[in-house]
Structure 1
């Protein structure tokens, strides 16, 4: 069942719904997506924890206001984006010097290939994290979260052409960085 079908009833609810039960269901279904998007926006685990919590508090408070103008996932990612942008703009965060965040490494790989694949994927994601925020957002929304160009454009408040341009520039930048690292190995580009 896709997002629109599973939570279609929410656009018709005006009260009397057990918001806690719906919130639990939304957190189970989209909690990881919300946290990951917050992390990729901020590059900080603790801040992503705070943002994800804030997102679901806001969803709880405004659940009856959802009217289905977008999918639930798009609505949640839009709230996440706004919360992340607010957090990044806060004067407290700008005054604090933060150390770079590294991915957790799996210490018990089952095979050499799995380990190599994981390391390659970590490299790709580290390149994605180095992209400017606007390019990173477009790439994540399209490639990782599967939003259409139209949905991403609506979420970002830009035209579809702008999303396509940012997506192209993001992929080109990641491919360029990846090509530099893999040129000696003769590996293919990441797309």
Structure 2
């Protein structure tokens, strides 16, 4: 279920914001939590951040202007909340386990182990990137945001988003080649 601006306005006018909050959590709860997990680095922190995100969204439902998608609006709140969380706590190692989704069912045990090892190596490379590159790759690869949506969320121009993605991909490719040589 994806929610749009008109639906949100209708529910707000109907005087049932709790219903809208439930709809928002049903539609976007997993995505908000995963993004919070990427930014915060821990499950318990992601739980807190996601809860704060939906509380903030609830408090500011009327301020949603529809200039971005509901998903982008919620991810922007998630980003600000997670960055504030990170500022208030010591920096944690981010792990991306579980973000890649389920794999095919008819693989041998050896193929599964090899694939998981390759994924771990790739994510280790991504995690070693500077935050601005790491975040751009996750927003594109996992969340499928457009350049425009990423630019809005990150508070930068689309050109900056394209540049960060290009540099991030180049850094990942160089690191993979170095691993292959070892």
The TM-score bracket by the shorter chain reads 0.7 to 0.9
Pairing of 1:1-191 with structure 2 (within 5 A)? 3=2, 6-8=3-5, 9-90=7-88, 93-94=89-90, 103=97, 111-112=108-109, 113-183=111-181
C-alpha distance in 1 between matches for 2:163 and 2:180:
25
Shift in Å at residue 14 of structure 1? 4.0
Other structure's SS at 1:145 match: coil
Unaligned runs of 5+ in 1: 185-191
Unaligned runs of 5+ in 2: none
Moved over 3 A (4+): 11-15, 97-104
The question of whether the paired residues in 2 share the 8 Å contact of 1:153 and 1:163 is answered with yes
C-alpha distance in 1 between matches for 2:108 and 2:15:
48
TM-score of the pair, normalised by structure 1? 0.78
C-alpha distance in 1 between matches for 2:95 and 2:70:
29
Tell me how many residue pairs correspond in the alignment: 174
C-alpha distance in 2 between matches for 1:77 and 1:63:
14
TM-score of the pair, normalised by structure 2? 0.82
Distance 1:115-1:21 versus aligned 2 partners, 3 A rule? farther
The question of whether the paired residues in 2 share the 8 Å contact of 1:11 and 1:67 is answered with no
Shift in Å at residue 183 of structure 1? 3.5
